[in-house]
Amino acid sequence: MESQNKWSMKMSKGLDMEIIHHPPKMRSVVNLIIAMERLKAADMFEFRDEELLSFMRESIIEERVVFETTAAPTQEYIKTEESLCMVNDTENKSLYWVPNNMELNAIILQGGADTCRAHMSMSTYVHPAPPVETQIVALGIRNTNYFLSCHKDGEVPTLRVELVEDKDSLQRISSNSDLNRFLFYKTVTGVNISTLVSVRYSDFYISTALENNRPVELCQDSAPRYRSLVFEQLNKNSGCERQL
């Protein structure tokens, strides 16, 4: 290291050479140089050991402030894969969608009325720093441009089925973009069972009512609603005449 010579030349009695032999982190190097410059300006030989130490410490603490003020990097959610599924709550109420409606309902369907169930496509996203043990997903209605999204209706976050002009806009979503309304943290809580929490309103879950045939909504932890959802994988080729 070229600076080693330079440092040695500047080095005066009372500064330990060892700091240089262990390659320090860049910040330490900078701090040390700053401290050295200050020491050069002062009359070194008038310092007692403890004065020298506190001088060094002061310099290091002061400069640390400067080096830690870096801006948080913008993060991006990037879509990686897509799978097909149908969703129930844990009471066998099936998510059901009437075309062009702005909401899903949860309905007990009798005798294998599967064609009435909403066939969903679930997109999975990668993110540089997802919360531990969760996936980031977006949920759309299969073969449509409709996606579940979270909005604030007054003070209360609500769930909507929203028409997206351009599906490609959901391919990459910046973490501070408005499009984060389409994203959910999916946490697996049992075999084929997960909860879905809004990325935008981070303590609001997709949930169904205790009663039959009510809208699927967002709710908090304490609300008397069902937050566990049962996912049933759909085969890519499974026919579905009723879907658009």
User: C-beta of 236: minimal distance to ligand NAG in Å?
Assistant: 13
User: C-beta of 232: minimal distance to ligand NAG in Å?
Assistant: 4
User: CA–CA separation, 65 vs 145, rounded Å?
Assistant: 48
User: CA–CA separation, 106 vs 149, rounded Å?
Assistant: 17
User: C-beta of 115: minimal distance to ligand NAG in Å?
Assistant: 12
CB of 5 or CB of 237, closer to ligand NAG: 237
User: CA–CA separation, 218 vs 226, rounded Å?
Assistant: 10
CB of 197 or CB of 230, closer to ligand NAG: 230
User: C-beta of 89: minimal distance to ligand NAG in Å?
Assistant: 9
User: CA–CA separation, 142 vs 238, rounded Å?
Assistant: 12
Angle between helices 26-41 and 2-10 (to 10 degrees): 30
User: C-beta of 190: minimal distance to ligand NAG in Å?
Assistant: 8
User: CA–CA separation, 107 vs 88, rounded Å?
Assistant: 9
User: C-beta of 93: minimal distance to ligand NAG in Å?
Assistant: 6
CB of 3 or CB of 90, closer to ligand NAG: 90
CB of 69 or CB of 110, closer to ligand NAG: 110
CB of 34 or CB of 109, closer to ligand NAG: 109
The candidate with the shortest Cα–Cα distance to 204, out of 243, 149, 161, 167, is 149
CB of 32 or CB of 234, closer to ligand NAG: 234
CB of 94 or CB of 194, closer to ligand NAG: 94
**Strand, coil or helix: what is 157?**
strand
Contact 226, 89 (CB under 8 A): yes
E strand map for 58-119: 76-89, 93-97, 104-108
Q: How far apart are the first and last CA of the chain?
A: 68
Interface ranges with ligand NAG (CB under 6 A): 88, 91-92, 94, 108-109, 191-192, 230, 232-233
User: CA–CA separation, 185 vs 136, rounded Å?
Assistant: 5
User: C-beta of 154: minimal distance to ligand NAG in Å?
Assistant: 32
